Amino acid sequence: MLWSAIPATVVVLLGAAGVLPDAADWALVVNVLVLGVLGYQSLSERRRPVPLRILGES
């Protein structure tokens, strides 16, 4: 879970450097995507069916 903060931090740093406009919005999008992937991965390790992985049902 701690590693999931690194991509959003990179996005915010790009915004602070002036490279990426609206960096806070993009950081939120990146966080949602990363946490979604982590949740999918967690449920796949528990061998849940794909529809339940997508919905996040355990």
Instruction: Determine if the pTM surpasses 0.85.
Output: no
Count up the domains in the chain and report the number.
1
Element (H, E) at 40: helix 23-45
pLDDT per residue of the chain (58 residues) written in tens, 0 to 9: 788 899 999 999 999 999 999 999 999 999 999 999 999 999 999 999 999 999 988 7
Contacts with 15 (C-beta within 8 Å, 6 or more apart), sequence order:
21, 22, 23, 24, 26, 27
What pLDDT was estimated at residue 41?
A: 94
Range of the domain at 10: 2-55
